[in-house]
Structure 1
């Protein structure tokens, strides 16, 4: 029996590339949607993947890319008009008679969150669930392991890991485990129709716990260094992170401190859906430690030192002004996840906000915007 072609958006991104890799490994035909044709898309072609360039905001291009496929992994673009991309995807899915969509969402997704991106994730979840005749599965991971390990070079060369989240804990999932959950839903959509899965790692960890693990992996002492948000914004800008991404990320840090990623974690979803145990933080860290930038050499150490010094000369974003200038639609009563009754009910965390006793988001949000 011929296997149906599976469409993958964001195919050169963190989860999209892992979804493509897993599908190819399992022998499924893949059509990868990329924004531009480059070296990364050429590597996909060499793996036998059909590659098409398409604008995720253009319904005509999406429809052409989608024709002949039966199932799709939708990884929304990091863009303030993300909801337009989702609407274009819905129109195209109906015209192309798609049978199933697996959508990457967010653990924090809720209608009144202070982050525009998070509010749009919630709207997209609702929108996709309403498409007639198309099954929908939500994958809503929390704070990825990648968010901690993208600074592995500082840990490797200087023995420090910047910490923004205090002593709060998380069970961080790997990109690969997130992808394996998505792939399981793509290859058996009827079994997973209407389900929501939250892939996590196997254990709750603080950043202090993570540095102990990194000390073993890197064979040197690694310590957490509290980093003020102002310095983080400078460092992120120096690394090319956009103001839009950071405008939401700063709220996620507050969510993290409030315990949003501890609630309900860890889950059994990775094992229950894929039959494989989730990767622990040490396994993930060893993969990052093998990256070229983390390998011990004088050249890499000098490069890391230059990157660190560059932070001091990089202006940080003024995110308050940025959000004002963008004129984003604002919720009447912005609410962090841990304070949200809707979020608590949808995540089976009855009374979650009351349990932690958090208040004051309106004061915080009004002061910023």
Structure 2
């Protein structure tokens, strides 16, 4: 195993993990891509591919790895248990440092229910005794246009709360910087946000101005929010999580704006306007 890459990246078939894997390859650093479906793995110089999924035995995929980029798993009722099992395998395999994509303000009492999953994962990293760096991302800027319905309405019980959303590209730049010099960032927690905190009215107005698509924010009550999402056929825990995205905004838990992206990378984060601009 002496010739095996000492750096491993999970989620390389996804958005953030894919950006990180490509940036690591561009830097000329060997890496191991840990993916569920090897057929979808990017073909990158200096990269080897191992098939693994959270919730499965990962020892074979983690052997020889020193630094691990752990993208949080897909939303599921079992996500925390899967994360814990993967972390346990990483500790047993001798992984030295885990860089984990968490969520802004992760806490056992987060209004955003998935923030509680991230808090549990962070705690397990500590209990496992693994050196780690936490990237606590705000909501992704990239998904805000996807929240707009076919009628041009951005609906949710967010009140007049504000959101310091961050671009996936900026999260990936921070992650890559940390992975290429992990000891410098050991033990650090970075709160990753965009350059401004916008209300959903301002989000809608910006999408309209930049794209030409007429978008408006429609505030909902909790009852209206649950009713408008009931047609998707999602399990109760997922609907609760979707609605809590907006109630967390209303509670001010996503309003923070930090300089951590620029502090780590030397470049300011993208704004929604810059992200949408052709």
TM-score tier (shorter): 0.7 to 0.9
Q: Of the candidates 163, 170, 184, which is equivalent to residue 155 of structure 2?
A: 163
TM-score after normalising by structure 1? 0.66
Q: Of the candidates 81, 88, 91, which is equivalent to residue 91 of structure 1?
A: 88
Cα 1:232–1:33 shift into 2, 3 Å:
farther
Are the aligned partners of 2:100 and 2:133 in contact in 1 as well (CA < 8 Å)?
A: yes
For structure 1, the residue ranges without an aligned partner over 5 or more in a row are 288-369
Counterpart in the other structure of 1:202: 195
Are the aligned partners of 1:101 and 1:186 in contact in 2 as well (CA < 8 Å)?
A: no
Q: Of the candidates 128, 131, 134, which is equivalent to residue 135 of structure 1?
A: 131
1:11-50 equivalences in 2 (<5 Å): 11-38=12-39, 40-41=40-41, 44-45=42-43, 49-50=47-48
1:89, distance to aligned residue in structure 2 (A)? 2.1
Counterpart in the other structure of 2:182: 189
Cα 1:144–1:3 shift into 2, 3 Å:
same
Q: Quick check: which has more Rg, 1 or 2?
A: 1
Q: Of the candidates 204, 214, 233, which is equivalent to residue 207 of structure 2?
A: 214
Counterpart in the other structure of 1:286: 277
Counterpart in the other structure of 1:70: 66
1:229 match: secondary structure: helix
Are the aligned partners of 1:73 and 1:103 in contact in 2 as well (CA < 8 Å)?
A: yes
Counterpart in the other structure of 2:238: 245
Are the aligned partners of 1:115 and 1:247 in contact in 2 as well (CA < 8 Å)?
A: no
Deviations 1:100-156 (A, max 9, x none): 100111124212446664333212112212334x420011112221331224684xx
Cα 1:182–1:245 shift into 2, 3 Å:
farther
1:105 match: secondary structure: strand
Cα 1:269–1:114 shift into 2, 3 Å:
closer
Aligned length: 271
CA distance in 2: counterparts of 1:114 and 1:207, whole angstroms: 18
CA distance in 1: counterparts of 2:239 and 2:97, whole angstroms: 32
Instruction: Provide the aligned C-alpha RMSD in A.
Output: 2.6
For structure 2, the residue ranges without an aligned partner over 5 or more in a row are none
Deviations 1:74-110 (A, max 9, x none): 1222222223222322332223221210011112421
TM-score after normalising by structure 2? 0.85
1:10, distance to aligned residue in structure 2 (A)? 2.2
More strand by share: 2
CA distance in 2: counterparts of 1:24 and 1:205, whole angstroms: 35
CA distance in 1: counterparts of 2:121 and 2:213, whole angstroms: 44
1:31 match: secondary structure: strand
Counterpart in the other structure of 2:143: 147
Counterpart in the other structure of 1:322: none
